[in-house]
Chains A and B, each alone.
Chain A
Amino acid sequence: MRERLSVVVAGDVDCGKSTVVGRLLLDSGTLPRGRLERARDLCAKEARRFEYAYLIDALRQEQADNMTLDVARVFLKGARRDYLLLDAPGHFELLRNMATGASHAEAAVWVVSAVEGLGENSRRHGRLLSLFGIRQAVVLVNKMDAAGYDRGAFERLARGCLNLLKSSGVSKARCVPMAAFEGENVVQPGLRMPWYRGPTVLNAIDEFDPEPPDSIRAFRMPVQDIYPGVRRDAGRPVIVGTVESGSVGVGDEIVFYPSRKFAEVRSIETYPRIGLKRAERGMAIGLTLDRLLKPRRGETAARAREKAPETGRKLLASLLWLGPSVLKAGGRYFFRLGTSKIPARLERVVRVVEAATLRGGAGRRDVRPNEAAECVLRLEKPAVFDLAAENPSASRFVLVDGSLIGGGGFVRAVIC
């Protein structure tokens, strides 16, 4: 079975993002038969110009507005593996959907227009990719047809994009000049840019690294639930969860944080299979212990012999706030990390990193929707986590405003 990598497709509205994806599907031979004809017929019936974007922009409202409204999941066949493309919207108001897409992706395709260049909104997309953990990207300089397939124009824009990505933490990046509507450099090498000798879009995507193995990091398993025991095991409660990082084996001594209760792993429970000796990252398992211990949902299991997780009530965090209301100093929220959910107060806005308006920076007491910021959070009870620099998957959190997720980010440091 082929591997699959999740890739977020980001870019400003009008950069031709959905056209890029539509064209990729068509030229790679991924599209179901009849889909192209159906989209063409629909356009003809409604007397509109055909767009490749209609192949994926399935919802009625978007077809009417010519705009992608939410993350669409599109499957793409590459030469080396398959892809799940998360086609995120470019419109400023819909940043929450792009962030959602980026948080589920292992790499990014960032589309910029050779005509419009790097506008403020486009820069924002580039910078936000790293905020959600993206470390590798391909920049597609689209609409080269409208820029006369000019090498100088491409190189200037490419330099700007690569600098921006590097400075925000995307360590592996390259640029491809292309014209999606014309099919130049999408899957087949283009004919109109003989000066470009690099890979096509699909080849560049095939060069992404798969998710690295996680043997180096310490074992972390947020407790999801406690299930009553199975009969053959004398009703010993089963502590269920998914291994977030590292691995755990039968006989390991484990510690639950923050209660610091410890026990030895007696068995790893999966159904109907029995006798599993070791569980690695990503596995949804159950543990039984050598003593009667009932940790609660929200606690995190770690191995006694490995590095202990951090605990703290006052944290420095970087986050993206998506609203709908304003995140205010003094405001009350729920902090959720792993399986824990802790009442929290936003103590202080340290600085707004990426402002929606030009009046950002220090000295602000609130974070408006679509702004990225560094903040100090004070929690009612200690949280258990790792720092973003050491173990990102155990450092990410969301803030719940009322009943819905309003933003999310990473824990950078413990203050106390």
Chain B
Amino acid sequence: MKEALEQIRTQALSAIAQAENSRAVEDIKVKFLGKKGELTSFLKQMGKLSAEERPVIGQLANQIRSELEQAIAAAQQQLKEKQLQEQIQAETLDVTMPGRKFDLGKKHPLTLVMDEIKEIFLGMGFDVVDGPEVELDYYNFEALNIPKNHPARDTQDTFYITENTLLRTQTSPVQIRTMEQRKPPIRVISPGRVYRSDALDATHSPVFHQIEGLVVDKNITMSDLKGTLELFIKKLYGEDSVVRFRPHHFPFTEPSAETDVMCFACHGKGCRLCKGEGWIEILGAGMVHPKVLENCGIDPEEYSGFAFGMGLERVVMRRFGIDDIRLFFENDKRFLEQF
């Protein structure tokens, strides 16, 4: 009996070891362990055994059954593994082949940087306001302390529609419109298109973008102007930016300042980027002229404020190393795709 059992065991194990696929293993399982399988049949004959032999053989048979079950499970596991390996092998791709192309649109580089600047000011508590591009002379000049025949009008070559309407030469008229509509405290920026009759060349465009800022509140000082703009420039150009404020003249601010940042390329030594000056002009700023506040019905004895303005194109050109302003408005796909 015992020998017969051992023989079944040997046969079964050898068959399992030789099985080449899970189907074959399944067949072996049926052949030996199934309802009509060899081991099962063998166990059915247990009744013929003596009382002494029965537990011994029974134990052996169970032991073999368990052993075979384990062997079958292991074999199946192993074959599954092998099958998986084969599948993976068969499905191997050339991962160096190009991926599927998704044609997402690209933001215009001017918008890219404009959005960044807006985000910085939003974070500093500024609202974003808008105004018309075809503007009244009053808002573009008169209310900003630039009366007719003021020499400052010559430096801003203006496109006129009629004697009293024009294409705004600066975003500053939005200052006036804002002050007419809102009462202090005011903290706004106003980005947008401006127009000057400069012939189009690599560095001039008759249309370009400015970002204007205005703060009016009680106790606003020139220190606040410096602090705010320095913070802005550091956020835009990095914490290690060196900022300088120097006197300048704008008819609508007093005192007025130009704000420079130390040249990123030469760190103040003077190079091609900064035209030898060591500094790059970033924005114009100043304390809002008391007359301008008065023009908007704000009492300059009670309130003070500061305003600033910057051109967008030059900032973007320096950021990306673009050497021709015309590219912005030509909209060639090959240009736009680079951003």
Q: Does A associate with B in a complex?
A: no
